[in-house]
């Protein structure tokens, strides 16, 4: 696994951006159970650049929870995950924090190649 980590400190809110190829994203999803994989796939944006299908994820979670792709222009597919869409609001459902945690763990388990940057505030 090739991982690039940014600065991380103790804080109540963490932001991160992840970029990988569609093929590597599918390897990551294969490590998750079906419900988590479906939800995680809704977190990503997609863009084809030069014939390569890229997957990008921008998330801020902790005290603030949002999907952040508004600064990326020309996306082929934008994230469809919405806070309050039922995930994490009832017993047995997953929160955005848990979803991000499981996705990051699946990156490690899958050996997928990703570019990952994070910061806290």
Residue 2 lies in a domain: no
| Most trustworthy range by pLDDT among 11-15, 48-52, 79-83, 93-97 | 48-52
Would you say how long the chain is, in residues?
Answer: 121
Say what the pTM is. 0.73
Domain holding 40, by residue range, is: 13-120
Question: pLDDT: is 54 or 81 the higher one?
Answer: 54
CATH of the domain at 48: 3.30.70
**pLDDT for 84 beyond 70:** no
Angle among Cα 56, 58, 62 to the nearest 5 degrees reads 150
HSE-CB for 83 with a 13 A CA cutoff: 12
CA dihedral 73, 51, 117, 110 (to 10 degrees): 140
> For tokens 């020309």, what's the residue?
74
Cα 103 to Cα 3, 48, 49, 61, 106, distances in angstroms: 14, 22, 24, 13, 5
For residues 45 and 83, the model is more confident at: 45
Whether residue 4 lies inside any domain: the answer is no
Structural domains in the chain (count): 1
Is residue 8 assigned to a domain? Answer: no
């Amino acid at each position: 696994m090739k991982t690039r980590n940014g600065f991380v400190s103790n804080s109540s809110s963490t932001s991160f951006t992840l970029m990988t190829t569609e093929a590597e994203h599918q390897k990551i999803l294969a490590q998750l159970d079906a419900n988590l994989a479906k939800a995680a796939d809704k977190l990503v944006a997609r863009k084809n650049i030069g014939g390569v299908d890229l997957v990008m994820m921008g998330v801020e979670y902790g005290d603030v929870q949002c999907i952040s792709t508004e600064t990326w222009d020309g996306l082929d597919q934008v994230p469809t995950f919405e806070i309050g869409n039922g995930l994490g609001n009832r017993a047995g459902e997953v929160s955005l924090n848990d979803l991000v945690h499981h996705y990051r763990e699946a990156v490690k388990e899958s050996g997928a190649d990703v570019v990952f940057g994070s910061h806290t505030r």
